[in-house]
Chain A
Amino acid sequence: DIQMTQSPSSLSASVGDRVTITCRASQTISNYLNWYQQKPGEAPKLLIYAASTLQSGVPSRFSGSESGTDFTLTISSLQPEDFATYYCQQSYSHFRSFGQGTKLEIK
């Protein structure tokens, strides 16, 4: 099975900050990597798919990149509504897997 390792597990930042969350796959997954945002009491929301493609309606301050088996989600300028938990997920294998999540909190 493909393991997805996210870091950090939690992050404190301020409005306007640039933040980066990293996800590492245990094997090659090409660009089959997606990012989701989840707020308390809500279902996850797709932000980015295929490592770097922004889902329709998602603000352009969100971006994704890849380098081998390392993937990055960047928020260029944090807004109050961005404080949430973020998950990466691989879709290279039929046996899907998620990272453990990164909780982004207000400093």
Chain B
Amino acid sequence: EVQLVESGGGLVQPGGSLRLSCVASGFTFTDYWMSWVRQAPGQGLEWVANINQDGGEKYYADSVKGRFTISRDNAKNSVYLQMNSLRAEDPAVYYCARDAWMQYYDLWGQGTLVGVSS
């Protein structure tokens, strides 16, 4: 089955860290750019970061640049989001998405919830 499955969400204190994982299956992972997209409670979609097929190109939203790091392990068909220095504005459902032909997100995971609270 073609799917993306995220994990790693949870509740952390402000300033804390969390690492999200997304495991891909059912398709050739190395053919695709991958992205993280988040959605704060009751809010719209916000692109967070993306990474190319070999991990050599990465781009970040200004809101997370310098705090979050996207990476991938093609041997494990996985993409990660290391989130450091978490802030009150970071709580959201974080989705992993497949970037088909660098044009559109045609496959999404179910999302993983991140909370930040003291």
Contacts and interface: CB of A to CB of B under 8 A. Distances in A.
Contact of B59 (A32, A38, A94, A101): A94
Chain A interface residue count: which class?
20 to 34
A98 B48 CA distance: 11
A87 B44 contact: yes
A85 to B, nearest CB: 8
Given A95-B59, A98-B45, A55 B106 contact: yes
Nearest to B48: A96
Nearest to B104: A49
B30 interface: no
A95 B108 CA distance: 18
Interface of B: 35, 37, 44-47, 50, 57, 59, 61-62, 95, 99-100, 102-106, 108-111
Interface of A: 1, 32, 34, 36, 38, 43-46, 49-50, 55, 87, 89, 91, 94-101
7 contacts: A36-B45, A36-B105, A55-B106, A89-B104, A95-B47, A96-B35, A99-B44
